[in-house]
Structure 1
């Protein structure tokens, strides 16, 4: 008589071990219960699955402690109510044969079983499957499970995916199912590639889901309560004034004092102002635009950078946030520049100062240098960018334009008396301004 054991057919009436591999014999003994010495009562139904302590002990440190440790199991059966029958059979198949079939619908359950019994090889199979199959619909579930199972590498890969696809993920139905810890790791990140109003609206939906789970009414006061400190990861000062006035100010998630603080920041005349408790740092540079003032870049890299000042002044016709500036680099990509960067307002008042080492990319002639915090730029006010660079000779711009229209903003550039390294409107350093719209 022949019996089918997975992909192996054996004659059970004779010498079934003959010419069979160790894996084939293990598979046969598991399926047919040959010489088993332990029984597992699996799942809610208590389905009995027989196995061999020897195999389990040599494959799992948890089973080793269970059967060989100082408090070893004395009974001939073990209850396993938290794992479904099919999942436990998959675990046994891996322990006996190093074989596993993973599908989207079972991967999390198999991962749970593998973690429970410390079967690291099976854990690795599951995490690789998840890494390959992360998508918009399942990433929140995988993030939550990797947090639960303390799978840090998978957790960080999920976060990276969410940062790059933030709007789709935050507006998905599964985002509101995340725990507070996972949610905080998402919305607190500077790498989140999304407009701030999406963060605000998604967190309101998240708060409503928490209210429902706690069986409390969906009110602004309850939303504020369940949000707790998560609220301070929403960067209200980065919202446009019109959206803030039309949407945020009409709900009571923020206190009256917080509303006033944000409103005064958005409308205030102090470009270096700040808002207590709320970050004013932009996320992932999603909304940034660049005003390029030169038509051409020189083919030669011979603009001296020996510590003199390159400066140019500008005005604009629309309120903006100045995020940073573009600087020219060198053909020598291995040598960094020592850069001192200033932004000066009316009457040469210093609004921002930055000191850093800058190295240009091998494939680029320019490098972006960002301020720690954006600076408010008001229309019809003259500002000056002043940079001192020490390092190799750099590229430089030619055929500069006095007026440069960019989207809804027109910039006008003016030569600055502070420049003593020949930069002016028509040639030199500081080829661009990096900005985002304010209103």
Structure 2
């Protein structure tokens, strides 16, 4: 069969599919058999044969390895020999290999360093790691070119100084048996290694891990790396996360991760009209960033001139003319980051004078207004006001597919014209950590439903499970007839039974008819 002209044929294939492709297309074969009475030549790979058969392992890597250019197998006909080779590439075999699938054999070969034919000197410390050319070439077009291309690597030891051993091990485990376990400390290094060796499936795995771990502390690091690795979708999702609310943007700009951002990434943030922060906070955050970067450079001091040099053109994207005159002189007039000429120019713009050839932006940011609304899970309007609330817990679990801010809960009241309850409310994480707590207090209301607001809104992470927890003491209240899923535009809310509930509230009936959310529209 003709060899494919696709130089990245490994992309999208798992280990078994790569093995089959290598066999079918006779790529990088290193052993030949003369098979059957007619002596038909069939090429194969020593690695696969030895990893699946103790006989072949002894033949190629034993005390007296086979040295013939062509191995004669006259007692098996070609069609049966091909079936044997195909099964060895994709299914089971004998001895230590017995009962193991291909991935398990690969793992055994890697873990025990059996029949390795290539060595890597990895990381700053130069740790030696053994591997098999066949497996690497079968899973990566970069390794295929390295070992079997026009100018194959001939060194006894291949130096890989830009990847640390822990990450190189993750790469090998993925190539050999598709184990893609990454952590917050290894994901960026693994992403770099996967990009370097064109392992697209591992790149996608790292991207998914980063996307699912976006929060106020991590988003700057993820933004930075998505820019470096040209992951435009992930980069956009980071921006959307930061811009979704003033509260969220403030926490991001106050985070340690913000200090690690590059000037290029910060420019993307500050130039965007959707950044929902007052200009004075943006300026203070940039001064903090500049001080940090000046301190990191031994040749640079935290002087105003050095900070201005570090900030460069970033300072021109702070929209000083949108500040009040008092605020501007309070936050920016105390240092010399801006020149006297620039301060006068900005002051004139603030009070309404036109200034020729100004470099400072006077256009307001077009931040979207957050919409606070009640997400109600009510299926049918209720007239039943017989739900007892005498201190037992009403609770329900929920999750949502997109990030949002949760401001509080919507609860049922009584049918009296005026009623009073003693109420305590909590929001719990999946691990039962309290994320928000409204302490026990008396509430007098007169409507069928009423809201209980948290002191501070809570960031809700997509597809994470949360528990709404309520303890009420007072007159009987209304009970709801509920659905387990609510769609609102692109938001999908799902509700689940909670073991915290001791008052019978569940997915289909009881208290807690809704969530008080803040959505960006």
TM bracket (short chain): 0.5 to 0.7
**Corresponding position of 2:308:** 224
Give the Cα separation in 2 of the matches to 1:288 and 1:264. Answer: 32
Give the Cα separation in 1 of the matches to 2:289 and 2:121. Answer: 39
**1:81 corresponds to which of 151, 158, 161:** 161
1:17-166, aligned counterparts within 5 Å?
A: 17-164=97-244, 165-166=248-249
Query: What does the per-residue CA deviation read over 1:380-419, in whole Å, with 9 as the maximum and x for residues that have no partner?
Result: xxxxxxxxxxxxxxxxxxxxxxxxxxxxxxxxxxxxxxxx
After TM superposition, the runs of 4+ consecutive aligned structure 1 residues lying more than 4 A away are 10-14, 286-289
> How far 1:160 moved relative to its partner?
2.2
Give the Cα separation in 1 of the matches to 2:239 and 2:369. Answer: 21
8 Å Cα contact 1:196/1:238 also seen in 2? yes
Give the Cα separation in 1 of the matches to 2:102 and 2:195. Answer: 26
> How far 1:287 moved relative to its partner?
8.4
Give the Cα separation in 1 of the matches to 2:306 and 2:155. Answer: 51
Give the Cα separation in 2 of the matches to 1:64 and 1:241. Answer: 64
**How has the CA–CA distance of structure 1 residues 121 and 251 changed in structure 2, closer, same or farther, with 3 Å as cutoff?**
same
> How far 1:274 moved relative to its partner?
8.1
**How has the CA–CA distance of structure 1 residues 225 and 75 changed in structure 2, closer, same or farther, with 3 Å as cutoff?**
closer
In structure 2, list runs of 5 or more residues that go unmatched.
1-51, 56-93, 372-521
8 Å Cα contact 2:274/2:368 also seen in 1? no
**Corresponding position of 1:304:** none
Query: What does the per-residue CA deviation read over 1:5-49, in whole Å, with 9 as the maximum and x for residues that have no partner?
Result: xxxxx9999712233211111111122222221112223333322
TM-score, length-scaled by structure 1: 0.59
Give the Cα separation in 1 of the matches to 2:370 and 2:181. Answer: 46
8 Å Cα contact 2:171/2:193 also seen in 1? yes
Give the Cα separation in 2 of the matches to 1:159 and 1:287. Answer: 16
Query: What does the per-residue CA deviation read over 1:275-294, in whole Å, with 9 as the maximum and x for residues that have no partner?
Result: 821112222437899xxxxx
> How far 1:61 moved relative to its partner?
1.2
**Corresponding position of 1:342:** none
**How has the CA–CA distance of structure 1 residues 241 and 60 changed in structure 2, closer, same or farther, with 3 Å as cutoff?**
same
Q: Secondary structure at the match of 1:72?
A: coil
Question: Highest relative contact order (Cα 8 Å, sep 6+), 1 or 2?
Answer: 1
Q: CA RMSD in A?
A: 2.6
8 Å Cα contact 2:107/2:177 also seen in 1? yes
Give the Cα separation in 2 of the matches to 1:45 and 1:276. Answer: 53
Give the Cα separation in 2 of the matches to 1:288 and 1:142. Answer: 25
**Corresponding position of 1:250:** 334
**2:352 corresponds to which of 264, 268, 280:** 268
Count the aligned residue pairs: 278
Kindly indicate whether residue 317 of structure 2 is the aligned counterpart of residue 237 of structure 1.
Answer: no
8 Å Cα contact 2:280/2:331 also seen in 1? no
In structure 1, list runs of 5 or more residues that go unmatched.
1-9, 290-439
